[in-house]
Chain A
Amino acid sequence: MWRRPGESLVVGESIEIEVIEARPNRVKLGVVAPESVSIVRKETRIIRDENVTAAWSIDHSAIASLLRRFPH
């Protein structure tokens, strides 16, 4: 699918994505969506999941094992 600046595409009944500006290596998008739909960059979603894993994966024994890895 090809779009020019000022053109849009529609996802389902209530989400609209518009190309606002196109540069050689990035584009600026505008999104219209219901308030209940969260819109984040994909890498933010990946980092959110990684943060949650990081927060809950470490316990005392993991810390002890990490400390053994580093001379201090």
Chain B
Amino acid sequence: MSLDLMPRTQTKFFGAVDYDTDSVFHFPSGLPGFEDHRDFVFLHVPHSEPLMFLQSLSSRNLCFVLLPILVADPHYRLNLTPEELFELELPAGREPLIGEDILCATLICVAQGEVPTANLMAPVVVNLQKHIGMQVIHGDSGYTHQHPLLFEEPVLSCS
């Protein structure tokens, strides 16, 4: 019996983590501000749903925290341009299905003492088949880059 060893990487939040190569995505242009980071892995972290962790494979110190876009905004509508479909190697002429053709997630920002925000203007989109990703920037979409995540805080029981 052969023992397939999973590759391992150092992560920002979870120490050394074994990962599945199916979870690795190549970002040909990186992300704005982090153009040198081209390869990322979505970490599988038990009991952390729906949060997602996009860890850079070139630096342990870079790990984005994301939410599935439909968790941040259940009515979110993604309209990829023909150029974006091309860059993601997705078929032209039809919008890809979230969860089937693509994964679409939003970067979360937590400024101290403030409500966390989600960047709905520029979601991260990955082609699930080709394992290519990019951050699409839709400045004219009507979505903000600082969408407040106003979920109810759990009620603390006082007895």
Interface, chain A (partner B; CB < 8 A):
40-55, 57-58, 60, 62-63, 65-70, 72
Q: Which of B18-26, B86-94, B145-153 contacts A (4 or more CB under 8 A)?
A: B145-153
Closest to B139 in A: A43
A-B contacts, CB under 8 A, total: 94
Distance to closest chain A CB from B140 (angstroms)? 8
**B1-9, B96-104, B109-117, B125-133: which one contacts chain A?**
B109-117
* Shortest 4 CB-CB contacts between residues of A and residues of B: A43-B139, A48-B32, A48-B33, A62-B110
Secondary structure type dominating chain A contacts? helix
Q: Is A66 a contact of B110 with CB atoms below 8 Å?
A: yes
Per DSSP, chain B at the interface is loop
Q: Which residue of B lies closest to A71 (CB)?
A: B154
In the complex, which residues of chain B have a beta carbon less than 8 angstroms from the beta carbon of A60? Answer: 13
Q: Mark B61-91, 1 if CB is under 8 A from A, else 0.
A: 0111100000100000000000000000000
